[in-house]
Amino acid sequence: MIPDLQKDLMDTNLFKCNKYFGWYIKILESRVDNCPDAYSENHHIVPKSLGGSNAKSNLVRLTAREHFIVHMLLMKCMSTKDGQIKMVHAAHRLIHGNDQRYVYNSRLYEIVKTTYSEVASEKFKSWWETFTPEERSQMRSGENNPRYGKACPDNVKAAVSKANKGKQPRLGIKHTEESIAKMRLACKNKNEGKRWYHSVELNKSTFARECPDGWKPGRLPGQVKPSLGAKGKKWFYHPETRDTAYKIPGNEPEGYVPGRIMSK
């Protein structure tokens, strides 16, 4: 493969001819007969996840830096979305592998995550369009799930519970008094000095320490709703016993009238 590397790789239909592919070829060709003197790593010219083998003709020794760079280039020169996603995963494994040989800065993180998000979104859309509207409706409702409507057997629950028992790292460990005091202070200061402000024109509310320009104090009118348990309920009291009840009108006890006695 090495003597005419660019032509052989293009014949696989895995790569597209762009500047990233050109840089990829240059790095590989520079190491054909020039193995690094210091630490080096094996790189699969055609990645294994795309059908490449462990044959010597498909391997080249690269420095750790070169190895990382070529995997970043591979994300940009794949001809298919599936291949691009696999190369994003490969680059991610280089950084988050067990040996953690590479440093993952914010710029590289953004490149990998943005690329993965773009190609994964397109792949999902193309896959979703293969289903009819009826099939999509069933998938949304969960009826296509083989476990839909079936309860988990008790023996399975017991097996899962036994397998996970003791795996919680903080199981049985209590916070120290110092940690508790720090958490209380952090929660206390988090909302200190904050108030609700609203803008009717923007139909928005915010919880802040300062009132934005043009906004008014308080929550947006109609935004605060009663809890589900109190919905529709009213206060009633008994004129003679002076007992009170919080009930939905029509369900109040016999002899009770609307209103509330604040003190007996």
Q: What percent of the chain has pLDDT over 70?
A: 86
- Determine contact, residues 77/24, Cβ cutoff 8 Å: yes
Contact (CB, 8 A) for 198 and 204: yes
pLDDT grade for 96, boundaries at 50, 70 and 90: low
Task: Provide the pLDDT for residue 248.
Answer: 86
| Tokens representing residue 47 in the block | 């990645």
Nearest to 116 by CA among 155, 145, 89, 139: 89
- Per residue in 39-61, pLDDT (tens digit) is 888 999 999 888 888 888 889 99
The residue ranking higher by pLDDT, 54 or 139, is 54
pLDDT reported for residue 70: 92
Query: Which pLDDT value is given to residue 264?
Result: 43
Q: Count Cβ atoms within 10 A of the Cβ of residue 199 and give its class: 0-12 exposed, 13-18 middle, 19 or more buried.
A: middle
pLDDT number for residue 73: 92
Q: Is the dihedral of CA 122, 124, 127, 130 positive or negative?
A: negative
pLDDT at 1: 47
Nearest partner of 62 among 37, 30, 40, judged by Cα:
40
Distance (Å, whole) CA 124 – CA 214: 43
Q: What are phi and psi of 196, to 5 degrees?
A: -85, 140
What is the distance between the alpha carbons of residues 49 and 107, in angstroms, rounded to a whole number? 26
Query: Measured between alpha carbons, how far is residue 112 from residues 27, 89, 91, 223 in Å?
Result: 21, 9, 8, 40
The overall average pLDDT reported for the chain is 82
Q: Quick one: average pLDDT of 136-161?
A: 78
pLDDT digits (tens, 9 = 90+) for 211-257: 988 898 888 876 666 565 667 788 888 888 888 888 888 888 889 99
Q: Determine how many CB atoms are found less than 10 A away from the CB of residue 72.
A: 19
Please write the tens of the pLDDT for every residue from 179-216.
Answer: 888 888 888 777 778 888 888 888 888 888 889 888 98
Sketch the domain layout of the chain as residue ranges: 5-128, 193-224, 228-258
Rounded to an integer, the average pLDDT of 141-150 is 69
